[in-house]
Structure 1
Amino acid sequence: MSLHHKLYRIFRSYLFWRVVRAFVTILIVMTLTFFILRLMPGNPIDLYIINLMTSGGLSYEEARNRALAMFRINLTRPLYEQYFEYVSNVFRGDLGHSIVSIGTPVIKIIAEFLPWTIFSVGIALIISFLLGIFIGTFMAYRRGSKIDSVLISLFSILSAIPNYIIGLLFIVILGAQLKIVPFTMLRGAYSPYIKPGFTVEFIADIFLHAAFPILVYVLTTIGSWALTMRGSVISVLGEDYVLVAKVRGLPERRIMWTYVGRNAILPLFTNLAISIGFIFGGSTLVEFVFVYRGIGYRLWEAISARDYPVAQGIFLIVTAAVVIANLIADLIYAILDPRVRIQ
Structure 2
Amino acid sequence: MYVIRKLGFYLVAAWAAITLNFLIPRALPGSPVDAMLAKLALRGPVTDETRTSIEKMLGTDTDQSLAGQYLDYLAGLFRGDLGVSVTFFPGQVSQVIVDSLPWTLWLVGLSTVITFVLGVGIGAVAGWRRGTWLDALIPSTAVLQSIPYFWLALIFVYLFAVNLGWFPISGGYDVNLVRPAWDYPFIANATYYALLPALTIVLSSIGGWLLGMRNMMVSTLSEDYVLTAEAKGLSPVRTMITYAARNAVLPSLSGFAISLGFVVSGSIVVETVFSYPGIGFTMLQAVQNNDYALMQGLFLVITLSVLCANLLVDLMYGFLDPRTRAGH
Question: Under TM normalisation by the shorter chain, which class is it?
Answer: 0.7 to 0.9
| Alignment partner of 1:203 is 2:223 | no
Q: CA deviation at 1:117?
A: 0.9
Letter in 2 for 1:46: D
Letter in 1 for 2:16: I
1:129-148 alignment to 2 at 5 Å?
129-145=116-132, 147-148=134-135
Whole-Å separation in 1 of the counterparts to 2:214 and 2:269: 30
Q: CA deviation at 1:114?
A: 0.6
| Alignment partner of 1:283 is 2:270 | no
Contact 1:52–1:63 at 8 Å: present in 2 too?
Answer: no
Whole-Å separation in 2 of the counterparts to 1:228 and 1:47: 46
TM-score, structure 1 as length reference: 0.80
Question: What runs of 5+ residues in structure 2 fail to find an aligned partner?
Answer: none
Letter in 2 for 1:158: L
State the SS of the aligned residue for 1:98.
coil
- In the TM superposition, what whole-angstrom CA distance separates every residue of 1:138-197 from its partner, at most 9, and x where no partner exists? 321342345523321322x22233433422332355456x4645644x31x211211343
1:1-343 alignment to 2 at 5 Å?
12=1, 14-50=2-38, 52-53=40-41, 55-56=43-44, 58=45, 60-61=47-48, 63-65=50-52, 67-68=54-55, 71-74=57-60, 76-77=62-63, 80=66, 81-145=68-132, 147-155=134-142, 157-175=143-161, 178=163, 180=165, 183-184=168-169, 186-187=170-171, 189-195=172-178, 196-247=180-231, 251-341=235-325, 342=327
- In the TM superposition, what whole-angstrom CA distance separates every residue of 1:242-269 from its partner, at most 9, and x where no partner exists? 4455456555445444544444445444
Letter in 2 for 1:163: Y
User: Sequence identity, in percent?
Assistant: 37
Q: Would the alpha carbon gap of residues 134 and 272 (structure 1) be closer, same or farther in structure 2, given more than 3 Å must change?
A: same
Letter in 2 for 1:107: S
What's the C-alpha RMSD, in Å, of the aligned pairs?
3.1
Q: CA deviation at 1:65?
A: 4.8
State the SS of the aligned residue for 1:328.
helix
Question: What runs of 5+ residues in structure 1 fail to find an aligned partner?
Answer: 1-11
Whole-Å separation in 2 of the counterparts to 1:205 and 1:53: 41
- In the TM superposition, what whole-angstrom CA distance separates every residue of 1:259-304 from its partner, at most 9, and x where no partner exists? 4444444544444333321211242222122111111211221121
Whole-Å separation in 2 of the counterparts to 1:217 and 1:224: 12
Q: Would the alpha carbon gap of residues 135 and 303 (structure 1) be closer, same or farther in structure 2, given more than 3 Å must change?
A: same
Q: CA deviation at 1:227?
A: 2.0
- In the TM superposition, what whole-angstrom CA distance separates every residue of 1:22-71 from its partner, at most 9, and x where no partner exists? 23333333343444434444434324434555642x364255356557x5
State the SS of the aligned residue for 2:83.
coil
TM-score, structure 2 as length reference: 0.83
Q: How many residues align?
A: 325
Report the equivalent of 1:8: none
Letter in 2 for 1:134: G
- In the TM superposition, what whole-angstrom CA distance separates every residue of 1:107-140 from its partner, at most 9, and x where no partner exists? 2221111111111122112211221133112321
Whole-Å separation in 2 of the counterparts to 1:54 and 1:254: 70
Larger radius of gyration: 1
Q: Would the alpha carbon gap of residues 127 and 199 (structure 1) be closer, same or farther in structure 2, given more than 3 Å must change?
A: same
Whole-Å separation in 2 of the counterparts to 1:303 and 1:79: 26
Contact 1:53–1:60 at 8 Å: present in 2 too?
Answer: no
- In the TM superposition, what whole-angstrom CA distance separates every residue of 1:73-105 from its partner, at most 9, and x where no partner exists? 445446724344323422443222223333322
